[in-house]
């Protein structure tokens, strides 16, 4: 049984391979698909086979997938290009006879205002149209997305948010990676999971956690989308990034990222780790 992981030099991909090894998958049965083989020496040292795999080279993808039974397609990081890239990977997997694909999507992509949603929706549609058996992992937000708040909490005693009373059921990246490894190794097909942390916290509750971690009072300063956009632009962020960050706040405000259902804890076999532990480890 050969299991392959894309984005294997990335954070989630690397963690997924580590979890596969921990679960008992022999390294000889793991293929790491990477666009920068020079960054994969540690994977080779673990006994994992490394193959070159660049989503932007569609004609070369099928050859790299020969012999792969199950593929973890980790969504790419080049926003705006991802739907096309993922479609190329799915077509190549079909051409190469890959038996199943596990894809890292996002929560509720069909009817979401989250800026990440359209490319995930398009990829899910491509998977459905491909006929390749698959599992969709609709991952919630990573705890690590909020580590940037540590600096403003420590320096200014505040986090500025347009997310209102919205809640975030985040979990550590590693726990999403572990769930992906469990599903990849399981052979399961035809299922869509919404994976989120056990606890949905508000931005005021995040500020309370930050207060404990940085050792000074931290408050959530609630502003509207226009004010947050202006503040970010004032820091020199380009319009695309400003729109992305504020769009995520609005998705949180709309309640899209606050879903809790226990599915992630169910896959990893224990409760998910609270965000304060990830904040403490990084502080």
The binding track of 89-128 with respect to ligand NAP, each residue x by CB under 6 A or -, is ---------------x------------------------
Q: Which of 3, 72, 76, 268 binds ligand NAP (CB under 6 A)?
A: 76
Q: Are 72 and 5 in contact (CB under 8 A)?
A: yes
Q: Which of 2, 4, 13, 30 binds ligand NAP (CB under 6 A)?
A: 13
Q: Which of 4, 5, 7, 178 binds ligand NAP (CB under 6 A)?
A: 7
Tell me whether residue 137 or residue 213 sits nearer to ligand NAP (CB atom).
137
Which residues between 122 and 181 bind ligand NAP (CB under 6 A)? 139, 141-142, 145, 173
Tell me whether residue 141 or residue 201 sits nearer to ligand NAP (CB atom).
141
Q: Which of 55, 103, 193, 201 binds ligand NAP (CB under 6 A)?
A: 55
Tell me whether residue 157 or residue 244 sits nearer to ligand NAP (CB atom).
244
Both tokens assigned to 138? 């609709």
DSSP string, the chain: --EEESSTTSHHHHHHHHHHHHHT--GGGEEEEES-GGG-HHHHHTT-EEEE--TT-GGGHHHHTTT-SEEEE---S-TTTHHHHHHHHHHHHHHHT--EEEEEEESSGGG--STTHHHHHHHHHHHHHH---EEEEEE--BGGGGTTHHHHHHHHSEEEES-TT-EE--B-HHHHHHHHHHHHHH---SEEEEE--S--EEHHHHHHHHHHHHSS--EEEE--HHHHHHHHHHTT--HHHHHHHHHHHHHHHTTTT----SHHHHHHTSPPPPHHHHHHHH-
Tell me whether residue 56 or residue 155 sits nearer to ligand NAP (CB atom).
56
CB of 51 to ligand NAP, least distance (A): 11
How many residues touch ligand NAP under the rule CB under 6 A: the total is 24
CB of 156 to ligand NAP, least distance (A): 24
CB of 40 to ligand NAP, least distance (A): 9
Tell me whether residue 74 or residue 179 sits nearer to ligand NAP (CB atom).
74
Indicate if the alpha-carbon torsion angle 104, 108, 114, 119 is positive or negative: positive
Length, in residues, of the chain: 283
Q: Which of 19, 30, 32, 35 binds ligand NAP (CB under 6 A)?
A: 35
Query: Which region, judged by CB under 6 A, interacts with ligand NAP, from 71-79, 150-158, 195-203, 210-218?
Result: 71-79
Tell me whether residue 173 or residue 228 sits nearer to ligand NAP (CB atom).
173
Cα–Cα distance for residue pair 101/104, rounded to 1 Å? 10
By CB under 6 A, name the binding residues for ligand NAP: 7, 9-13, 35-36, 53-56, 74-78, 85, 104, 139, 141-142, 145, 173
């Amino acid at each position: 049984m050969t299991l392959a992981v894309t984005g294997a030099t990335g954070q989630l991909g690397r963690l997924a391979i580590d979890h596969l090894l921990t679960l008992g998958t022999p390294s000889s049965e793991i293929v790491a698909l990477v666009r920068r083989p020079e960054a994969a020496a540690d994977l080779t040292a673990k006994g994992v086979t490394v193959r070159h795999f660049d989503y932007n080279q569609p004609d070369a993808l099928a050859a790299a997938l020969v012999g792969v039974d199950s593929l973890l397609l980790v969504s790419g990081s080049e926003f705006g290009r991802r739907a096309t890239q993922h479609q190329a990977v799915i077509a190549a997997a079909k051409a190469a006879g890959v038996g199943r694909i596990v894809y890292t999507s996002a929560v509720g992509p069909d009817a979401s205002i989250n800026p990440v949603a359209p490319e995930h929706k398009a990829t899910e549609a491509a998977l459905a149209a491909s006929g390749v058996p698959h599992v969709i992992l609709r991952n919630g937000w990573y705890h690590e997305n909020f580590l940037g708040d540590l600096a403003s909490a420590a320096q200014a005693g505040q986090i500025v948010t347009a997310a209102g009373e919205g809640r975030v059921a985040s979990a550590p990246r590693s726990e999403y990676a572990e769930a992906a490894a469990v599903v990849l190794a399981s052979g399961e097909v035809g299922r869509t999971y919404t994976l989120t942390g056990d606890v949905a916290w508000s931005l005021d509750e995040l500020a309370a956690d930050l207060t404990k971690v940085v050792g000074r009072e931290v408050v959530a300063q609630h502003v509207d989308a226009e004010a947050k956009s202006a503040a970010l632009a004032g820091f020199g962020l380009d319009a695309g990034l400003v729109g992305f960050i504020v769009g995520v706040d609005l998705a949180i405000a709309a309640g899209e990222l606050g879903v809790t259902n226990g599915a992630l804890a169910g896959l990893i076999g224990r409760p998910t780790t609270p965000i304060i532990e990830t904040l403490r480890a990084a502080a």
